[in-house]
Chain A
Amino acid sequence: MTKAITEDEVVSVIEKAVQEHGAAREAVIPILSAVNHAFGFIPREAFSEIRRLVHDPETGLFLADSQLYSVASFYQLLSLSKLGRHVVRFCESAPCHVMGGREVIQTLEDELGITPGETSIDNKWSLIMTSCLGICSVGPVFIVDEDVYGNISPEQVHEILELYE
C-alpha cells in the first residue's frame, strides 16, 4: 500500500522547482516535470499551488487551472493519474516494430496481464506505449522506470520483469 501524498510534500517540491526555474510562464513545463518526477504523476493539489506561486498582478502574470491542465495533458511524460509502482514504456515506432517488436509486446502483455494504458490490479505495473525513444539500433526496446533494455527477445521478458518487486 503506497503512502498517501501529503499536501506539504507537494508544496515543498513546487517551491523548490520555482526557486530553480523561476516564477514565470516559461517555467511551467519544468515545474510540472519536477512534480511528475517526484511523485510519478501530477497530483490535483499541484495546480493550485503552482497558481499561487506563479502569480504577479503587477505584471499581469496569472495562470488559470485550464492553462495548467492544458499543458499537463499535452505532454506524454507527464501523467495526471497515478501509475503503478513500476512503469513499463514500450516503443511502438517503426524501427522497433521492424526489428521484432510485435512478438515482444505480445509477450509483455501476456506476462503483465494488462494491455497498454492499463495498470495492474495489484498496482505493481503500468504498461504504456511510447513513440521512438532514440535508441533504435538496439531495438526492440522498452524502459522500466528509468532502466533501459535493448535488443530484447521475447524469451528475455520474463527474466527482466522478475528483477522488479
Chain B
Amino acid sequence: MAIRFMVLISNDPASMERGAGAVLQAFQDHLVKSGITDTVSLNTISDLPNREDLPMVIIYPEAVVYGPVKPEDVHVIIEEHLVKGNIVPGLLAVMHGPIPEVSWLSNRKGALPAQKRIVLERAGVIDPESIEDYIVHDGFLALGKALTEMTPADVVGEVEKAGLQGRGGAGFPTGRKWSFVVSAPGEPKYVICNADESEPGTFKDRLILEGDPFSIIEAITIAGYAVGAQEGYIYIRGEYPLAYRRLENAIAQAETYGLLGNQIFGRNFDFHIHLHAGAGAYICGEETALIESIEGKRGMPRARPPYPPTYGLFGRPTVVNNVETLANVPPIIRNGAAWYHQFGSPKSVGTKVYTILGNVNFTGLIEVPMGITLREVINIYGKGMKNGAKLKLVQTGGSSGSIVPASLQDTPMDFESFRKAGASLGSGALLVCDDQTCVVDLAKTLMQFFRFECCGKCTPCRIGTLKSYEIIKKISEGKAELSDLDLLQNLGAIMTEVSNCGLGQTASTAALDILKHFRGEVEAHITSPACPVGVCPIVVAAPV
C-alpha cells in the first residue's frame, strides 16, 4: 500500500512538557481505529524552535502545520484531513513569517516520494535464470529496437538527451563518455561493466546482477553497438559468486537464442561478453585499476590522463560503466529520453537506488526519483530511528562519502543540491547513525578501511592513510594533543589534492567533515580527555 501522508509530531523537550506524548499516543490509537495505518507514515520531529504553539503536527504533502495540538484534536485531524482530505483551518499554527527550521516544508510541497523501480523493476519478480521470463517482461526489446531502427549515433544521442549520469559514484554524463570512445582512434574498442561493487554499505549492484542479470547483458550489448565495440567484459567482485553464476547462465542462454554472439538479430553486429571475477580488492573498483586487474596484474590505478576512453583495456578506447548506470540504458532506449525526464529533476534525471543501513527500524534498499531528502528516507522507508533514538549524522555514499549532520537532513538528494551543501551522493549508500555513535570511533573505522585497501603506489595515500589512522587511534585512546588535529587536517588536504586516484582523494573526506561538523566532540577526546558517548577506550591515569 503506498504511503499517502507523512505526519510529523514535535517531540522536543518543550513539546513533551506540553503534552506531545499524549498527542502521539492519540494518533497511534486513532489511526488504528480508522483503518488507515498502511497509508500514513507516523513520525516525530525534534528540531523545531521553541514557540507558544507547540506541540505541532506537520502533515505533508500539503505542507500544513497544526499547533498547538491537544489529544482531543487528533481524531478531528485524522477524520477531516487524512481520511477526507480537508485541511482543518481552526487548528492551523499561526506562522509569524517563515521559520528557517521548517522552510524545507514548502520546498517539498507536492507528491510524496514514492518508489519508482526502473532498474529494479524485474528483480524479485522474474526468475533470474530464465531468458523466457526476461523476454516476456520486455526483455531484449530495447536491443532489438537499437539494432533494427537506430544507428549507433542515434543510440548515443538518446542516452545523451536522457541526461543519464554515472551511478557508481562519480556522476559523469554517460552519453558524453560514450561519445569520447566513438571519436577516439584505435581498434578494437571495448565496453567494460564495473561490477566490482565494494564501497561499504553498497549492495545495489548485487541486487541488479542477482535479480535481473539479463538486463546487464542487454545493456552492455547496446553500449557495444553504440560505441563500435565487439567485445565486452563484466568485472564482477570475487565475493559475489551467485551473481557470477547467474551472469554465466544468462550469457549462455542469450547466445543460444541468437541474442548475443554473431549476427545478433540477424544484423551485421557481433558482440561477445567475457566474465572476469575479481579476487578481493576495493581498489579494483577504480576503472584503471580494474583494467590492470583484467590484464592480469596488481590492481594499481594508472596515471591519468590518458583516461580509458582514449587508452583503456590493452591500450584501446574503452567505456567503463557501473552496473546501475548500464541498467538504465534499455529502459531509456525502449521508452525514449523524454520518458526518462519525468523522474528526478532537469540536472539530476531519473531514479537512484539507495541502500538504507544503520540505526533505523527498516534496513534494505529503495529506488526513488532523484531529489528525495534524508528525513523522508529515514521516516518513510526506514520507518524511523531504531528504539526512538535521535539522528546524529548520515554518511552518504559509502566510506568515501560525506558526513551529513542531522541539521542538513532536508537537503534534496540530487547531484546539484548536495554539491551546494558541500556533500556528495556517491554510490547511494546511506549509513544512518544515532547519538550513540562516537564520531572518533567512526572515523577510526573508516580510516582503517582506507589504510588496508590502499594499493601502496603513491606516497600521499600510502603514508597519509597510515599516519591519519595513527592520529585518530591516538585521539580515541585519549593520548592526542590539539596540534594533532591540525596535522590530521593538513594530511587530509594533501591526500585530497595530490593522491593518484579516487581512493586517496576521498579517504579523508569523512575525517575532514567530522572535524568541520563535530569538532567539539573530537576535542573532548583530547582536552578532558573523555569520549562523550562512552565508546572509545580512553583510560585516564588515576590521580597520584
- By a beta-carbon cutoff of 8 Å, the part of chain A in contact with chain B is 24-30, 32-33, 36, 67, 70-71, 74-78, 92-95, 97-99, 130-139, 146
Question: Which partner residue on chain A sits nearest B455 by CB separation?
Answer: A74
A-B contact pairs, 19 of them (CB 8 A): A25-B296, A27-B296, A29-B277, A33-B238, A71-B298, A75-B278, A77-B238, A77-B239, A77-B280, A93-B200, A94-B201, A98-B359, A98-B431, A133-B239, A134-B197, A134-B202, A136-B200, A137-B203, A146-B241
Answer yes or no: B293 CB below 8 A from chain A CBs.
Answer: yes
Binary contact readout B265-283 vs A (1 if CB under 8 angstroms, 0 otherwise): 0000000000011111110
Query: What is the CA–CA distance of A74 and B282 in the complex, to the nearest angstrom?
Result: 11
* A89 nearest CB across to chain B (Å): 9
Chain A residues near B452 (CB, 8 Å)? 131
Question: Which partner residue on chain B sits nearest A89 by CB separation?
Answer: B239
Answer yes or no: B429 CB below 8 A from chain A CBs.
Answer: yes
Question: Which partner residue on chain A sits nearest B293 by CB separation?
Answer: A29
Chain B residues near A94 (CB, 8 Å)? 200-201, 395, 399, 431, 442, 445-446, 449
The answer to whether B294 and A136 have CB atoms under 8 Å apart is no
| A33 in contact with B279 given A94-B449, A137-B355 (CB within 8 Å) | yes
Question: Which partner residue on chain B sits nearest A25 by CB separation?
Answer: B296
Answer yes or no: B420 CB below 8 A from chain A CBs.
Answer: no
Chain B residues near A75 (CB, 8 Å)? 238, 278-281, 299
The answer to whether A98 and B238 have CB atoms under 8 Å apart is no
The answer to whether B237 and A131 have CB atoms under 8 Å apart is no
Residue picked from B200, B282, B299, B358, most chain A C-beta under 10 Å: B200
Binary contact readout B235-265 vs A (1 if CB under 8 angstroms, 0 otherwise): 0011111000000000000000000000000
| A134 in contact with B239 given A71-B297, A95-B357, A98-B359 (CB within 8 Å) | yes
Chain B residues near A98 (CB, 8 Å)? 357-359, 431, 433, 437, 442
Chain A residues near B282 (CB, 8 Å)? 131-132
Chain A residues near B358 (CB, 8 Å)? 95, 98-99
Question: Which partner residue on chain A sits nearest B284 by CB separation?
Answer: A75
The 9 A-B residue pairs with the shortest CB-CB distance, nearest first, are: A76-B280, A75-B279, A77-B280, A132-B200, A93-B200, A137-B363, A28-B296, A25-B296, A134-B203
Chain A residues near B359 (CB, 8 Å)? 98-99
Chain A residues near B429 (CB, 8 Å)? 95, 136
The answer to whether B238 and A26 have CB atoms under 8 Å apart is no
Binary contact readout B296-320 vs A (1 if CB under 8 angstroms, 0 otherwise): 1111000000000000000000000
Chain B residues near A97 (CB, 8 Å)? 442, 445
Question: Which partner residue on chain B sits nearest A97 by CB separation?
Answer: B445
* B453 nearest CB across to chain A (Å): 6
Chain A residues near B453 (CB, 8 Å)? 131
Docked complex: B183-222 residues within 8 A CB-CB of A: 197-203, 206
Query: What is the CA–CA distance of A27 and B297 in the complex, to the nearest angstrom?
Result: 10
What class of interface size applies to chain B in its complex with A?
Answer: 35 or more
The answer to whether A139 and B357 have CB atoms under 8 Å apart is yes
Query: What is the CA–CA distance of A74 and B241 in the complex, to the nearest angstrom?
Result: 20
Question: Which partner residue on chain A sits nearest B401 by CB separation?
Answer: A94
With A29-B279, A70-B298, A95-B357 given, can you name 6 additional A-B contacts, CB distance below 8 Å?
Answer: A29-B276, A75-B278, A93-B399, A99-B357, A132-B198, A136-B203
Answer yes or no: B58 CB below 8 A from chain A CBs.
Answer: no
Question: Which partner residue on chain A sits nearest B297 by CB separation?
Answer: A71
The answer to whether A92 and B238 have CB atoms under 8 Å apart is no
| A78 in contact with B279 given A94-B395, A139-B357 (CB within 8 Å) | yes
Query: What is the CA–CA distance of A28 and B299 in the complex, to the nearest angstrom?
Result: 13
The answer to whether A137 and B357 have CB atoms under 8 Å apart is yes
| A131 in contact with B200 given A76-B279, A92-B445, A137-B355 (CB within 8 Å) | yes
Answer yes or no: B425 CB below 8 A from chain A CBs.
Answer: no
- Return the contact of A32 from the options B279, B299, B357 (Cβ within 8 A): B279
- Return the contact of B281 from the options A32, A74, A92, A135 (Cβ within 8 A): A74
* B246 nearest CB across to chain A (Å): 15
Question: Which partner residue on chain A sits nearest B433 by CB separation?
Answer: A98
Residue picked from B198, B201, B395, most chain A C-beta under 10 Å: B201
The answer to whether B203 and A135 have CB atoms under 8 Å apart is yes
Chain B residues near A132 (CB, 8 Å)? 198-202, 282, 399
The answer to whether A33 and B298 have CB atoms under 8 Å apart is no
Chain A residues near B299 (CB, 8 Å)? 74-75
The answer to whether A74 and B298 have CB atoms under 8 Å apart is yes
| A137 in contact with B365 given A75-B281, A78-B280, A95-B201 (CB within 8 Å) | yes
Query: What is the CA–CA distance of A26 and B293 in the complex, to the nearest angstrom?
Result: 8
Chain A residues near B297 (CB, 8 Å)? 25, 67, 70-71
| A76 in contact with B363 given A92-B448, A94-B395, A133-B239 (CB within 8 Å) | no
Question: Which partner residue on chain A sits nearest B204 by CB separation?
Answer: A134
* A128 nearest CB across to chain B (Å): 10
Chain B residues near A99 (CB, 8 Å)? 357-359
